Amino acid sequence: MNRIDRLGSLVGLLLAGVVIWQSVIIPMGTLNKPGPGFLPFWAGVILALLAGLLWLGSEKRKPFSAPLKIFPEEGRWSSVIWAAGSLLAYGFALEVLGFIFCTAALMLFLFYFIGQQKWWVALTGSVLVTWVAHALFKLVLKVQLPAGIFRI
């Protein structure tokens, strides 16, 4: 039995269920004038059918040679969580605190805590990268980057 496929199948079935449920609320129209709910409904139905087929196939399929480990004991999975979290935090803080502050903080975090560099290397790297990125994107490429509450 292939546990990875079973997990994928369950996620697919769940998503299909939600899509079908929400699609019936939207006007489906008729066959000779399909409405906005027509395609998402049938996409959901097909997804559910495929997820069901995947489940049935997973009974007979051998497991993958690497067992299912979303968080393997020896992997650096905590780095994944911290990195993803830092990106989300960056997204929320960007327009409030501004590009320069957020970028410097993010680079410092990534270099030091995840990249495991020495503190002075991380600090120098974060300052340098922030300065170059600001110069390149804001001044040269004229990309509008938020100044934030610090107005820098």
Partner 1 sequence: MGFSVALDPLNLFYCFLGVLMGTLIGVLPGIGPVATISILLPATFKMPPVSGIIMLAGIYYGAMYGGSTTSILVNIPGEAASVVTCLDGYQMARRGRAGPALGISAFGSFIAGTFAVMALTLLAPPLAMVALQLGPPEYFSLVILGFTLLAYLAHGSMIKALMMACVGLIMACIGLDFISGYERFTYGIATLEDGIGLVPVAMGVFGVGEVLVNLEESLGKRDIFKAKISTLLPNLKDWKDSSWPIIRGSILGFFLGILPGGGAVIASFTSYAVEKRFAKNPEEFGQGAIAGVAGPEAANNAGAGGNFIPLMTLGIPANPVMALMMGALVIHGLQPGPLLLAQNPDVFWGVITSMYVGNLLLLILNLPLIGIWVRVLQVPYPFLFPLILLFCLIGSYSIGNNKFDVLIMALFGVIGYLLRKIRFEAAPMLLAMVLGPMLEDALRQSLIMSGGSFQIFVTRPYAATFIGLAAVLLILPVFKWIKKNLRRKEGKK
Residues within the interface to partner 1 (CB under 8 A): 4-5, 7-8, 11-12, 15-16, 19, 22, 26-27, 30-40, 43-44, 46-47, 50-51, 53-54, 57, 64, 68, 70, 72, 75-77, 79-80, 83-84, 87-88, 90-92, 94-95, 103, 106-107, 110-111, 114-117, 125, 129, 133, 137, 141-146
Q: Closest approach of Cβ 152 to partner 1, in Å?
A: 16
Which is closer to partner 1, CB of 12 or CB of 101?
Answer: 12
Per this entry, what is the length of the chain? 152
Q: How far apart are CB 29 and partner 1 at their closest, in Å? A: 8
Q: In whole angstroms, how close is the CB of 122 to partner 1 at the nearest point?
A: 10
DSSP, res 64 = P
| Residue that the structure tokens 């270099």 belong to | 111
Q: Specify whether the CB–CB gap between 147 and 133 falls below 8 A.
A: no
DSSP assigned state of 29: E
Judge contact between 69 and 121, C-beta under 8 A: no
User: Strand 33-34 and strand 29-30: pairing?
Assistant: antiparallel
For residue 88, the minimal CB distance to partner 1 (Å) is 5
d(C-alpha 15, C-alpha 35), whole Å: 21
